[in-house]
């Protein structure tokens, strides 16, 4: 009876979370994303405070020297100023290395603290009945975080979604552009497939045996043609000759070894097929791979 090693769900989830936290975060690397973040957070925060008055903020400043709308506008401008200082000034202190996801979250907390400082200074300056104190600052930090967290999350979520959509479109376009159309010597279409699924071509008399993946199954197609005619189509896609009768997908090579008869290759999915490497093509493989054994 075979024993299968399984990981507890909690342990697996924790491992994935730790891995994700260490990944680089480049969402705010483009300047246009940073500008969009700042303007969106400023505009959204003003409308959010004006329309919903979270924490009953509209009642705090009634009868004061400034209208409630003016105060909300000033606070929004403070947020814009804090994010601008952070995203175009302080961010330079990190150097060229991108922030990891956990560092990015810590940076956001730092931005909320910076904005709270700016808002606190301005708020005390325009209202005589307020004083600088640690308690006043902590209250300001709580409200600044609460107002900023939603638009900040929305903006970065939008950047992430747009990045993934662009990656998907790019991959789709690449796949469309690199589809292989294998034809016989009479220019009749015989086989259409992705380059990554093509494993090996073996010439024999006036035919070429084509080994390829169909899903997870290795299949073979016999085409009346020659490697010489097919080589120009394949050479720029990661394929190269290893022998006058063999052409291999370099990305599928799992072993390059020397024995008493000479050098040979093994291809992933075709481990039972020994592919010779002749002297004429040996230098290409020596530069790419270190012979085993």
Q: What is the pLDDT along the chain (293 residues), one digit of tens a residue?
A: 444 444 455 665 677 788 888 889 999 999 999 999 999 999 999 999 999 888 888 788 777 778 889 999 999 999 999 999 999 999 998 888 889 999 999 999 999 999 999 999 999 998 888 899 999 999 999 999 999 999 999 999 999 999 999 888 877 766 565 788 899 999 999 999 988 899 999 999 899 999 999 988 999 999 999 999 999 988 888 899 999 999 999 999 998 888 888 899 999 989 888 999 999 888 888 878 766 65
Q: What separation in angstroms does the CA of 250 have from each of 62, 196, 235, 287? A: 73, 10, 10, 12
Instruction: Using DSSP, state whether 131 is helix, strand or coil.
Output: coil
Give the bridge partners for 267, in sequence order.
253, 270
Give the bridge partners for 185, in sequence order.
none
Number of domains in the chain: 2
The residue among 133, 159, 175 that closes a domain is 175
**Are 213 and 276 members of one domain?**
yes
**Are 197 and 131 members of one domain?**
no
- Residue 12: the pLDDT is 56
CATH number of the CATH domain containing 272:
2.40.50.1020
Residue 277, domain member (yes or no): yes
The residue among 110, 142, 175 that closes a domain is 175
Domain coverage including residue 212 = 180-288
CA pair distance 121, 127, nearest whole angstrom: 10
Instruction: Check if the beta carbon of residue 286 is closer than 8 Å to that of residue 274.
Output: no
**Are 234 and 166 members of one domain?**
no
Residue 3, domain member (yes or no): no
Dump strand ranges (E) for the chain. 180-183, 189-193, 198-204, 207-214, 217-223, 239-243, 246-249, 253-259, 262-267, 270-277
Residue 121, domain member (yes or no): yes
User: DSSP per residue over 189-243, as a string?
Assistant: EEEEE-GGGEEEEEEETTEEEEEEEETTEEEEEEESS-HHHHHHHHGGGTEEEEE
Instruction: Check if the beta carbon of residue 141 is closer than 8 Å to that of residue 112.
Output: yes
- Residue 37: the pLDDT is 97
- Residue 9: the pLDDT is 54
Instruction: Supply 289's token pair.
Output: 């791979």
Q: At what angle do helices 101-126 and 68-88 cross, to 10 degrees?
A: 140
**Are 160 and 200 members of one domain?**
no
The residue among 155, 175, 195 that closes a domain is 175
Residue 59, domain member (yes or no): yes
- Residue 174: the pLDDT is 62
**Are 165 and 198 members of one domain?**
no
The closest alpha carbon to 248, from 203, 291, 287, 200, belongs to 200
Residue linked to tokens 């990981």: 7
CA pair distance 276, 242, nearest whole angstrom: 7
Residue 4, domain member (yes or no): no
How many C-alpha atoms does 24 have within 13 Å on its Cβ side? 6
Instruction: Check if the beta carbon of residue 200 is closer than 8 Å to that of residue 269.
Output: no
**Are 165 and 135 members of one domain?**
yes
**Are 206 and 168 members of one domain?**
no
- Residue 61: the pLDDT is 79
**Are 116 and 201 members of one domain?**
no
**Are 267 and 211 members of one domain?**
yes
- Whether this model's pTM surpasses 0.75: no
- Residue 145: the pLDDT is 94
């Amino acid at each position: 009876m075979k024993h299968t090693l399984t990981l507890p769900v909690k342990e697996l989830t924790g491992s994935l979370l730790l891995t994700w936290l260490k990944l680089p975060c480049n969402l705010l690397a483009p300047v246009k994303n940073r500008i969009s973040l700042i303007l969106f957070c400023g505009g959204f925060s003003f409308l959010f405070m004006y329309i919903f008055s979270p924490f009953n903020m509209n009642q705090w400043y009634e009868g004061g020297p400034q209208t409630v709308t003016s105060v909300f506008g000033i606070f929004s401008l403070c947020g814009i100023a804090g994010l601008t200082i952070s995203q175009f000034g302080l961010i330079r202190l990190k150097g060229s290395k991108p922030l990891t996801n956990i560092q990015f979250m810590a940076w956001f907390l730092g931005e909320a603290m910076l904005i709270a400082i700016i808002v606190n200074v301005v708020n005390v300056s325009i209202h005589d009945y307020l004083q600088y104190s640690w308690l006043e600052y902590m209250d300001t930090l709580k409200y600044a975080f609460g107002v900023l967290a939603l638009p900040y999350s929305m903006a970065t979520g939008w950047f992430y979604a747009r990045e993934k959509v662009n990656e998907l479109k790019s991959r789709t376009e690449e796949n469309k552009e690199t589809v292989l159309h294998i034809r016989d010597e009479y220019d009749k279409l015989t086989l259409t497939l992705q380059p990554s699924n093509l494993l090996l071509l073996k010439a024999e008399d006036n035919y070429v045996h084509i080994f390829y993946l169909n899903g997870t199954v290795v299949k073979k197609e016999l085409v009346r043609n020659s490697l010489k005619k097919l080589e120009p189509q394949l050479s720029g896609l990661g394929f190269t000759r290893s022998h006058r009768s063999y052409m291999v997908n370099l990305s599928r090579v799992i072993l390059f070894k020397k024995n008493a008869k000479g050098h040979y290759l093994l291809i992933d999915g075709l481990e039972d097929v020994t592919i010779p490497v002749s002297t004429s093509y040996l230098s290409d493989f020596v530069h790419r791979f270190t012979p085993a054994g």
